[in-house]
Structures are given as C-alpha cells and as structure tokens.
Structure 1
Amino acid sequence: MELVGKTVTKKQRPVNLDLRTIRQPVAAISSILHRVSGVITLFALAILLWLLSESLSSEQGFNAVVEILDGFFVGFILWGVLTALAYHIVGGIRHLIMDLGYCEEIESGALSAKVAFGVTIVLSLLAGVLVW
C-alpha cells in the first residue's frame, strides 16, 4: 500500500483468540459483572412485577405466590437476584464516582473494584439472612 510516496507495511502481531488464557484486570471483571448483573436484574424485575401483580389480585393469588416463593430453590434464585441487584447498585455507585473524576487511575480503579466486591459480599450475606 502506498500513501503519498511512502510505503506502509502491515505489522504481523500475534493474535490470541483463546479467551481462557487472557487474564483480565479486576476493574475489567468488575465492569463486565456490572453489565451482567444489570441484565439479570432486568429479567428478574419482569418476573417480580408479575408475582406482585398476582399477589395483589386476590387472596387466592396471594396464596399462590406464597406457595411459589416457599421452596428452597426459589429462595436460592431470589437470593441470587438480590445479590445481582446489590452488585448492580454498588457497581453503579462506583461508576458514578468514577464519572466525577475520582478513582480513574489503574491502582485506585482496582481498589474501588475490590471494595465494590467486598460491599457486595456483605450485602449478599444480609440478603441471605433476609431470604432464609
């Protein structure tokens, strides 16, 4: 390829397409999990709104919802949804703080991601106590 009398050569760089061998920094993992928790929260919100609608429709609807939510498996799913919601809120606050110009450097960004994970673990344990 020739541009204005100069020859441009294409660099032969190694390409790694095996995503299992790439080690992501903690801030990248935090950002990816924030997006995943948002998707989980979106779908869970639709189901929870349907359950709320059913429970408010009549006494039979309320009893049906209580029956649905009484099992261990559903409790486990509810705990997971609450954990995803907690992480999404904590991650969102982290991103808002970064938008204000704080914790934008690599070291402080990694530290804020670790703090977000820690706060989410505490909130997840509290959600577990609430569900069970």
Structure 2
Amino acid sequence: MRARSASAPKFLKLSQIRFPIGAIASIGHRVSGVLLVVSLPLLAFALDRSLRSESEFEALRDLVSEPWRALLLVILVWAAAHHVLAGVRHLLMDIGVGSRLSQARTSAWAAILAAGIIAVAAAVRWLS
C-alpha cells in the first residue's frame, strides 16, 4: 500500500466552515444589493401604480396584505437597511475609521443587528 502524498487533495466540509462576522456582513451586503437591483423594476411599477389614484393604492395595499407577500416586503426592507448600513461601514473603513479588528467586528455586528431590527419593526408595523 502506498503512502499518502503530502500534496493529495483535501476535501472541504462546507458545513464546518465558520466565516468571521466581517465576512458575513460583506456577503450580506452583496446579497442585499442583488435583491435590491432585481426588485427595482417591480418597486418602480408598484410606486407608479400607487400614485395613480386612491383606489389603485388601496388595491396595491390589499395585494401585499397577504402574509407571504408581506414577508417579501420585509425581506426588501432588510435588504435596503443592510445595504445602506453595511455600505456606510465599508466606506468608513475605506477612509480608516473603524478599521482595527475589534472595531470592524463591532461595526459588522451593529450593521447586521440594526438591519434585522429595522426589518422586524417593519414586519410588526405591517402585521398590526
């Protein structure tokens, strides 16, 4: 039997990889940006329709009152909040503000938690 070579390929167990909080915030920033770009035509259409008349606004409000559609709106609120907060975080770090490791971790947690709180607040608002 042959000895295993030091250069033999190693297979990663993806479920065991743990990303640092900064990477999670950065990936969330990218995901939220894609969600916002994809939803932009639909949101522009909804805005146009809602501004036509009061009855059009009421019809649109009734359309998004179903729980699964309201969930989609909450996801879009999260995407907008996270994208703005993480973007400001990245911009500040680019100019050297909060670029130390402990500060970067704290700001990543703050962006993620604040976006979640904003999304939950939107959900509470729409469901009540």
TM-score normalised to structure 1 length: 0.77
Aligned to 2:3: none
Question: Normalising to structure 2: TM-score of the pair?
Answer: 0.79
What amino acid is the match of 1:45?
L
Gaps in structure 1 of 5+ consecutive residues: 1-10
In 2: Cα distance, 1:122 partner to 1:66 partner: 23
What CA deviation, in whole Å up to 9, does each residue of 1:9-65 have, x standing for no partner?
Answer: xx8386444332221111111100110011111222221111112233456543432
* Equivalent residues, number: 122
Runs of at least 5 residues in structure 2 that lack an aligned partner in the other structure: 1-5
What is aligned with 1:18? Answer: 13
What pairs up with 1:1-132 in 2 under 5 angstroms? Answer: 12=7, 15-58=10-53, 61-132=56-127
RMSD: 2.2
Decide which structure has the larger Cα Rg and report it: 1
